[in-house]
Structure 1
Amino acid sequence: MPADLAVIGLGHLGIPLVRAATAVGVRTLGYDPDPRAAADLRAGRLPSGAWDGALTAADLRRMAAGGFRTTTDPTQLGRVHTAVICAPTPLGEDGTAALAAVGEAARALAAHLRPHTTVVLESAVYPGTTEEFLRPILEDGSGLRAGRDFHLAYSPGRLDPGNRTYGYANTPKVIGGLTPACTEAAAAFYGRLTEKVVRARGPREAETVKVLETNYRHVNIALVNEMAVFCRDLGVDLWDVIRCAETKPFGFQAFRPGPGVGGHGVPMAHAPSGSDAPSREDRPGPPGRPGRSGRSGRPGRPLAMVELAQQVNGRMPGYVTRRCAALLNEHGKSARGARVLLLGVSYKPDVGDQEGAPAGEIASRLMDLGAQVSFHDPFVARWQVLGRPVPRADALYEAAADADLTVLLQHHRTYDLQGLAVKAQLLLDTRGASPAGTAYRL
């Protein structure tokens, strides 16, 4: 039976979209080039690294009952009305989003793309990607023209994994189409899944929404990370400062420091250089809209504040490691040979997704100092650092009592921090989540 929707890429963006679509009766085809991902979902098994902390086998059964099926056969993509590309875009060596998976997904779709299909990109990308990178792949591979033969749009992924207040239905969805008709086609689809659709002027504006939202998070976390070091040098309780400051009803939003910043959104300090997204200056614009010079392939004006934020946040794992060594030394112990237990190795509370989490670098630095590192995370069954498995503590309180130092890197709701503070020989809380006076804070 033909599906209404094809979701290309069954990861942190794709699965929530599938769940939202099937919940409202949209027959959905999930395509992933990795046969293991499709096979696991087809068999009702949870994908590895349960990124949103709430997906269960029962959810998979409900998705299947709602019309979800998976495939590794790209020919099936030619039988849908809407195709959404949710391919991963990890940070590349040049500091920009790597588009290899997006290109692979686009080529698989292009070979079977039919007229009147609505194609949407949701992956985190730099401005210009939809028009300058995705569009030519789809057009060259299909012989169809975007904006005339099929609809093309961008919609930034906005879900907050683990958030129990805001989900797919009550989080506004931003849409930017190549033409007004493209925008309306995409808006008509997403209007079935969410309560509010926000129309951007075009794909570049929608892509830049994601850049702004990601940069906003990184810059503000960098500010409080700098304040954490500043306040410690002054002997000021930063957590009390934040508690008081957030009572201001205007002009302030509370962010809290931590051991670093993770997540799938890549902060962007400047337009990328290189040939990932070639300029399409010779390509005419879509019907009813002037052509736009492609700038994504050339360096742009740097965003100095974002560059500085990346530097500040990038220093935090080293700062945490130095705090660990100093605490051990203050209590008559050396980092060499010390037993260090890391609590929470994911990048967000109550999820298992480790994308960009600072835990790996902190563990690596501690190992370089000669420490014996173990970990506990209720959402992560196995963890590797530098290709080596890290021992997992199954009995949490016993492990904390045995460790010379316990370090809270992520505050999962299941952690009883007051109880852990009683059991642990030394507890360093990098999230400021433990009761005052029960642990050392960042």
Structure 2
Amino acid sequence: MMQASTQTALQSNYASHVAMLQNHTRDALARENIDGLVIHSGQAKRLFLDDNNYPFKVNPQFKAWLPVVDNPNCWLIVNGVDKPKLIFYQPIDFWHKVPETPIDYWVEYFDIIYLKQANRVEKHLPYDKSKYAYVGEYIEVAKALGFELINPDQAMHYLHFYRACKSDYELDCMRMANSIAVKAHTAAKQAFFDNLSEFEINQAYLLAAKQGDNDVPYGNIVALNEHASILHYTVLDTTAPSQHLAFLIDAGASFHGYAADITRTYTTQNNEFNALIQAVNQLTIDLANMLKPGLAYVDVQVAAYAGVAKILCDFGVLNMLPEDAVEAGIVSTFFPHGIGHLLGLQVHDVAGHVVDDRGTPKPPPSKHPFLRCTRIIEPRHVYTIEPGVYFIDSLLSDLKSTSNSKFVNWNVIDQFRPYGGVRIEDNVIVHRERNENMTRELGLDL
């Protein structure tokens, strides 16, 4: 159950959220000289040669308007002026649970029509579709319904760009997502120290979050020992290792369609790897504090790269000066991803690589090709900050075959290999005068 105070905060901020979306829609429509958008929540996808469906994932443009994240075959008709029209799918069905008639705070902001048969939606859509655009992924459905304009570029660029600046309602949702994830991370940490398997640790996480594998915003990364060196490890061994040396968990939670994305690393050892965790943790804090309006996010990546270089030299992994390690590019072997990304309705939220609301590209710099955001930081942006240091066999093998191998203390590498690696990730709201590190302020340190 949602706490009454949370419900009150969401309700009080929802009107201004809808007003913001109306303004964005009106401006986006002007770009295309059209009358409105018809936003499709999505529909079920059937498994190949099967009669079961993949888990349903709602269109982000749909859930931006209202917290309906689990109901396919719904439609929104918006024009930035009139009260939005919601076509809410509510079939007669004895095989599956039928969505209940919504009664939440958001209902009053929509004219709601209840749809019993998904294939009968056309009579509720605009008759003349030449001035309306379909927004969604089911292109064949859109064309069958008579839409000629589908996901129009200029309107979509505009909506995506301004989605980065969150309303008060959205920030409340993201705080709730972080609150749920923090509680679940605490449970997973205890499960690690109880020597459970990756599978069991993940179950402890989901139980504490009260969210299933299909409810959390991405597949949880629950990695013990050397598995922490696999950046997107999702295997979940059912058998516990003989020794629990290290634990990396990258796992989030969802609330009303908004995501949390948090990573922590722990060890049972009081040794150099524990000190390495502390060093990466401090770097995360420093980089989160660095965020401010007007700063290029690329500058945070450059600072992260330099920070990891210093850690590698301080811990004797490299026998060179940090600035020389940066110049040589050796750091990429140990830190092969970007420092973070925009966060919101999607874990890796849209419009990270553009410079303006017309979608003008701004790709990542050649030295940091995996950076997911090159935007100028603005108030109400929400970012992840996630530096890491990893000991990845394939990348280390590549490094060993180069002339830079002489700058590497391979005996130190061998000491760290069984632990896999370290990543510490926080979720940060940028305000005009301060940064709000949701993850830390809600109680999750190391």
TM value normalised by structure 2: 0.28
Question: Where is the helix percentage greater, Structure 1 or Structure 2?
Answer: 2
- Structure number with greater CO (CA < 8 Å, separation at least 6) is 2
TM value normalised by structure 1: 0.28
